[in-house]
Amino acid sequence: MAVRVLPPPPEPADKWEVQLRKGCLELAILAALWSERLYGLEIMRRLAEGSGLIVPEGTVYPLLSRLKTEGLLSSEWVEADAGHPRKYYRLTAAGRRRVVEMARFWQTFSASLDHLLAPVRKENR
């Protein structure tokens, strides 16, 4: 009796979308900090409003910590007028260089992918 191995089922589109968003998250966070320093909740709001990325705290804060460890971000505690102090993050010089490099790569990559997708878009109008 031969055993037949079936190919794995295709990934649902939503799982693919989650992976795509996760892959872009570092670039999105660095880009959100380009113009000004922000604290964690402001970063999450900026991601949601600017790109539709809804990211939980449990994902954002470890990533911010890693980016700080890598020297791409700096942080400082600032006393708030009301409530508790907030930890603000800003890009370091290395972080600014990194986001520029990532943005250049993104431009090239997304333009190439758009080129490949042109026939799909054309056929499905």
pLDDT category at 70 given cuts 50, 70, 90 is very high
pLDDT band at 97 (very low <50, low <70, confident <90, very high): very high
Give burial (CB, 10 Å; 0-12/13-18/19+) of 103.
middle
CATH of range 15-123; options 3.90.79.10, 3.40.50.720, 1.10.3720.10, 1.10.10.10 = 1.10.10.10
| pLDDT at res. 61 | 96
d(CA 40, CA 57): 8
| Domain spans in the chain, listed from the N-terminal domain onward | 15-123
Say what angle helices 93-123 and 13-32 make with each other, to 10 degrees.
Answer: 140
- Residue-wise pLDDT tens digits, 35-63: 999 999 999 999 999 888 888 999 999 99
Q: What pTM, to 2 d.p., does this model score?
A: 0.83
